[in-house]
């Protein structure tokens, strides 16, 4: 989106400002009832840094320093992981934005749907970084996931 005066769609920050909302207001409203995790990946080092909520979203203990990608990958549904990594690599290589929906393990048998939105961001003196947000599409706990799985199995059984 651009925010030029040529009739093109205004950028989100300008729209909120025109309406009388600050960026802080928008973040507070958006994150008030849904868990949002924010993260960034340094392309040169391959390190990912994330907020505490990102760890909670993935069912992991928050800690300082880089995220353990192997640990996060183990929480993502195997059918979704390859595509997610390909999309993420594409964003860094081609300097683009992306979005993806994938499943993250909750408990022993359940999964929740998570949406990630990210974009390439230039960083002087480096190859840049990919920054983004991830959030749960449908609020669901482990018990709800197991009930849903049982209901679906009942429906799908011959």
Domain of 73: which CATH number? 3.30.450.20
The reported pLDDT for the residue numbered 83 is 93
Q: Is 74 part of a structural domain of the chain?
A: yes
- Quote the domain boundaries for residue 144: 35-156
The reported pLDDT for the residue numbered 12 is 67
Q: Is 27 part of a structural domain of the chain?
A: no
Which of 141, 131, 144, 137 lies closest to 114 in space, CA to CA?
137
Q: Is 23 part of a structural domain of the chain?
A: no
Q: Is 28 part of a structural domain of the chain?
A: no
Q: Is 21 part of a structural domain of the chain?
A: no
Q: Is 94 part of a structural domain of the chain?
A: yes
How many Cβ atoms from other residues are within 10 Å of residue 43's Cβ?
19
Residues 16-57 have pLDDT tens digits of: 777 788 888 878 887 777 888 999 999 999 999 999 999 999
- Contact of 102 with 114, CB cutoff 8 Å: yes
pTM of the model as a whole: 0.74
Q: Is 149 part of a structural domain of the chain?
A: yes
Query: In whole angstroms, what is the distance from residue 59 CA to residue 75 CA?
Result: 8
Question: Coil, helix or strand for 67?
Answer: coil
Would you state the structure tokens that stand for residue 89, as one six-digit string?
A: 């690599």
Specify the number of domains making up the chain: 1
Q: Is 14 part of a structural domain of the chain?
A: no
């Amino acid at each position: 989106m651009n925010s030029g005066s040529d009739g093109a769609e205004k950028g989100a920050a300008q729209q909120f400002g025109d309406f009388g909302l600050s960026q802080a207001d928008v973040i507070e409203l958006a994150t008030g009832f849904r868990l949002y995790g924010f993260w960034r990946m340094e392309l040169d080092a391959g390190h990912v840094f994330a907020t505490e909520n990102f760890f909670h979203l993935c069912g992991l203990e928050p800690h300082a320093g880089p995220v353990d990608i192997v640990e996060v990958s183990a929480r993502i549904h195997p059918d979704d992981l390859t595509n997610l990594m390909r999309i993420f690599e594409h964003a860094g290589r081609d300097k683009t934005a992306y979005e993806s929906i994938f499943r993250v393990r909750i408990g022993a048998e359940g999964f929740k749907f998570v949406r990630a939105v990210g974009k390439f961001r230039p960083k002087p003196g480096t190859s840049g970084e990919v920054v983004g947000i991830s959030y749960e599409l449908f609020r669901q706990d482990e018990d709800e996931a197991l009930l849903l799985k049982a209901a679906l199995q009942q429906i799908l059984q011959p």
